[in-house]
Structure 1
Amino acid sequence: MRNNDNDGRPNPWAEPPHWRTGPAWQERRRGPRRLGIALAVACIAGLALLALRPELLIDRLAGKAEALRHTAGAPPLAVESVRPTAPPPMAPDEPTLQEPFRGSPALQWADGAAGIEVPEAAATGWMSKEAVADALEKTKRFLVAANLDPATLRGERPADALALLDPQQPEIPQRLEQYLTKPTEQDTPVTVFTRFDPAEAKPVGDVVKVRGSMRVEKGEPGEVLVVTDYTFVHPLTKGGTSVQRTIVRRQITLALLDPVRWETTRGRLQLREYHAEWSNVECSAADGFLHPQFPQDLATGPAATGPAVDPYDRSAGGVRGDGCGTITRS
């Protein structure tokens, strides 16, 4: 992959851009105290990027923003109702400040929160249609607050996302607080929240492209699970004319519990499982931020040793296991 540096001349990468994942972990399911609190939080992986303007986020939440089209007559893709069977086709064009999604399959994806479409609710298990609709809407709000909120993206505390989570869930509130206040390479907030150092990179334009799916599954009696799988594409610049795209894929399962049957805070979500993969970022970071790669940067941290992968290929069942490799495009 090649890109132009500030004077417009081609400049090769010091090494190929990376994808990164993190160590998997899972907490034990706790038995009921007669009711019961279930818990399972899983693995992580890595890719990244920057922020949106606050006024744009408001438009996205209201569903009023139109997708930006950089090619005439390019219709948006239909909602991803089933997992794709193959990666999208390759395109040779590179991004520019004027066309940050040129050459990317994300060009036809939806903008921001508009790409997180809530499916029609139906009664599931012991949950009424209204309870399921509540779980779906809160799940969307969590994903937006954790991955698109400008304050979260520029590294501030993800207050709106945290406010949706159940403070009574065992271990999770304490673990997330540790991630945010005392991050390490292993225990980092980017496993759940997309965060960047605003001194390192700036967004190109106002659009983050989003594509993915959300579905409801029957859980134990008195609970509903919302299973999500979304990819976020962020165009960034360090200044000059060089533009890079960072891609973040997150697979998150959230649960809404019936307080009559479970020990829970009414109306709050529990974080059951999360996996993440970040592409076009450094292989290692311990400061709680994702660090996008630019051609003019010297490679730092450990070298990529994993296989070359396509970060736009959503046909794979899940994110890759622990490690760091190279990507075929960004």
Structure 2
Amino acid sequence: MPDDVWERFVQDSERDIRISQAPKEPSARARMVTERLRQQDARGELPPAWRADPVGQGANGRRARRRRVWTVIGIPLALAVAVVAMKPSLLPGDPFGTDSAAVMGSGSGPAVSPLPAETAPETAAPGSAPGSPTLDEPFAGSPAARYADGAAGIVLPEAKAVGAFSKEQVAGALEQSRTLLVGANVDRGTLLGDTPETVLGEVLDPKQPEFVDDLRSWLRKPGRGHDPLRFFSRFDQDEVRLVGDVVKTRGRTTFEGGKDGALDIHVDYTFVYALAPADPDSGEVARTIVRRVIDLRLLDPAKYEATPGRLAVIRYDDDIANSACGVYDGFLHPRLASGGPTGAPPSGPAVDPYDRSRDIGDDDGGAGDGDSGEGSCGSVSRT
């Protein structure tokens, strides 16, 4: 309780107690009634039970004491109720859900409500968001402030038997698709330049001709025609640092039966990264947005040369916003006001990287400044 409120409570309590204990001058009527009863008692006109005073002055004294007790108890109780009414979040556990900090996570930015999971294709770009990014609230001013955190944003559909695979096998394949997305786009080691061994060694099928070997080769020696950013999100620690521990994630996973009893899984997710210059004294914050659309397939080992439980990659498209164009060193390079690799200048009409209703593909040049494919270097309306 604040000091000024407590001091006011103590003063009010002391005043009420003094008032309740102060002697009071009886009224004229009370004096007259008392004198009449005294005379009746002297003449022996009152019964003995009256002299025992079961409900007379003794009862009055008890009532007075009870009033004093309730004064001491009631005033702080009423005060506590008033304080809780003004700020319900003071109650342990915040039973009324009024603590906006719990919605935001940390920092002092405006409260926002999280978006429900994406269960169907979005039909329009999200609206504008208030605020500007800071080190404490790096996603302020972005629709990503309402996205889920990391793996929590990858919500899998309920599994069911498909083709040659049981419900349990389908559930295992869906979990593998989530492991791939997290390992390639959320895992902190991958983001800081480590080799994503979980993806390469535990999820992707090594029997898929050349693909896993190609990815390893791209990571070792990136270049224009073999850029690991086509599949992995990575940043140069000498240039930038990650702000906080959160990657904002939004998207959906679907599946269906494929050719010859196969299971086809389609994933479409947007990942938003908050970055700051590597200089620890810099307060500048930038965001890079990466959207990935990938088609995965679980083949029936009875019909194909395939590893049970491992996924083959059928198609993969990427859309990168706010990263330098024409730089093929295997890292994303956010455009910072303080400088850094800039590459080719963006061109063409600006598009919204948060618009998940828009299709992406290799032939559209990408939605953003990234140029991991062979398309043109596009411009964006916001980051």
Change (3 A) 1:120 1:172: same
Task: Write the mapping of 1:102-181 to structure 2, written as runs, cut at 5 A.
Answer: 102-163=140-201, 164-181=203-220
| Contact map agreement 1:210 1:231 (CA 8 A) in 2 | yes
Measured on the aligned residues, the alpha-carbon RMSD in Å equals 1.9
| Contact map agreement 1:116 1:212 (CA 8 A) in 2 | yes
Number of residue pairs matched? 266
Among 307, 326, 330, the alignment partner of 2:379 is 326
Change (3 A) 1:209 1:196: same
Indicate yes or no: 2:306 matched with 1:258.
Answer: no
Task: Write the mapping of 1:1-330 to structure 2, written as runs, cut at 5 A.
Answer: 68=105, 74-91=112-129, 93-163=131-201, 164-238=203-277, 239=279, 240-297=282-339, 300-319=342-361, 320-321=364-365, 322-330=375-383
Segment of structure 1 superposing worse, 247-256 or 319-328: 319-328
| Contact map agreement 2:130 2:140 (CA 8 A) in 1 | no
For the residues of structure 1 that align with 2:125 and 2:266, how far apart are their CA atoms? 22
| Contact map agreement 1:93 1:103 (CA 8 A) in 2 | yes
| Contact map agreement 1:67 1:110 (CA 8 A) in 2 | no
Alpha-carbon displacement from aligned partner over 1:141-191 (angstroms, at most 9, x marks no partner): 011011111111111111111011111111212321221122112211110
| Contact map agreement 1:222 1:262 (CA 8 A) in 2 | no
Q: What SS does the aligned partner of 1:102 have?
A: coil
| Contact map agreement 2:291 2:319 (CA 8 A) in 1 | yes
Alpha-carbon displacement from aligned partner over 1:243-291 (angstroms, at most 9, x marks no partner): 0111110001111122112111122111111001111100111211111
| Contact map agreement 1:89 1:105 (CA 8 A) in 2 | yes
Q: Name the TM-score, length of structure 2 as normaliser.
A: 0.66
For the residues of structure 2 that align with 1:116 and 1:102, how far apart are their CA atoms? 22
For the residues of structure 2 that align with 1:133 and 1:242, how far apart are their CA atoms? 42
Deviation at 1:86, TM superposition (A): 0.8
Q: What SS does the aligned partner of 1:262 have?
A: coil
Deviation at 1:218, TM superposition (A): 1.6
Change (3 A) 1:258 1:209: same
Q: Name the TM-score, length of structure 1 as normaliser.
A: 0.76
Q: Which residue of 2 aligns with 1:42?
A: none
Q: Which runs of 5+ in 2 are unaligned?
A: 1-101, 366-374
Return the index of the structure with the highest Cα Rg: 2
| Contact map agreement 1:214 1:228 (CA 8 A) in 2 | yes
Deviation at 1:92, TM superposition (A): 5.0
Q: Tell me which amino acid in the other structure corresponds to 2:376.
A: G
Runs of at least 4 residues off by over 3 Å: 69-73
| Contact map agreement 1:66 1:111 (CA 8 A) in 2 | no
Alpha-carbon displacement from aligned partner over 1:177-215 (angstroms, at most 9, x marks no partner): 221122112211110011111111111111111000000
For the residues of structure 2 that align with 1:130 and 1:96, how far apart are their CA atoms? 44
Q: What SS does the aligned partner of 1:146 have?
A: helix
For the residues of structure 1 that align with 2:178 and 2:104, how far apart are their CA atoms? 19
| Contact map agreement 1:119 1:215 (CA 8 A) in 2 | yes
Q: What SS does the aligned partner of 1:202 have?
A: strand
Higher helix share: 2
For the residues of structure 2 that align with 1:323 and 1:301, how far apart are their CA atoms? 12
Change (3 A) 1:299 1:167: closer
For the residues of structure 1 that align with 2:172 and 2:271, how far apart are their CA atoms? 24
